[in-house]
A = this chain, B = another copy of it.
């Protein structure tokens, strides 16, 4: 990436969006931004890792995996483009990542140490607002979930279950879960759940494997 290329990229990061080129140049000049390239297959962050920094995906694709507390459900999603990886985990009560991120393609990442991030929240109103807005919006979305109209059919229940376990509302997803567990979570008979999944498969919305459900595009399912 050339010099202009880097700045254009930085402006696409949710934390830097809206900055003037002058402000951004000042920040890049004065801030320790840790640029890092990772190879395909490399693990960027593991579930349970201490956070203490802002980790930003700038280029490439990551697989984001989340594992349930009893390890009976794993959800894999794909992140591409500019994403700040769990910015809320650099603050608050539990300062550890709760997802694992692994490179699906060669990736470019930027890390900002928490001290540096705090300094940026002090010197830049835009960075500060972007950070607070990012975490607030995610919280608003999470808060709303429990209060939606209830699903009206088993199909809607299955679809809501799957989408409620995703961070991004679009893209390819892999659910590693046995049908027994899915049926238990939905409080529904296994045969009914299997039948419903087969109907969705027939409509090309997902494919069923042993202990795995692939959703090619969540936006088509929801």
Which residues of B are found within 8 Å of A135, using beta-carbon distances?
88, 92, 132, 135-136, 139
Copies of this chain present in the complex amount to: 2
Residue of B nearest to A121 (CB): B128
Set B92, B133, B186: member contacting A136, Cβ < 8 A: B92
B185:A150 contact, CB within 8 angstroms: yes
Identify whether the interface residues of A are mostly helix, strand, loop, or mixed.
helix
Q: How large is the interface on A (under 10, 10 to 19, 20 to 34, 35 or more residues)?
A: 35 or more
Chain A residues proximal to chain B, CB less than 8 Å: 66-70, 73, 88-94, 98, 118, 121-122, 125, 128-129, 131-140, 142-144, 146-150, 157, 164-165, 181, 184-188
23 sampled A-B residue pairs with Cβ under 8 A: A66-B147, A68-B147, A70-B150, A88-B135, A88-B136, A90-B136, A92-B133, A92-B135, A92-B136, A92-B140, A94-B137, A121-B128, A121-B132, A122-B122, A132-B132, A132-B135, A135-B135, A135-B136, A135-B139, A150-B181, A186-B187, A187-B187, A187-B188
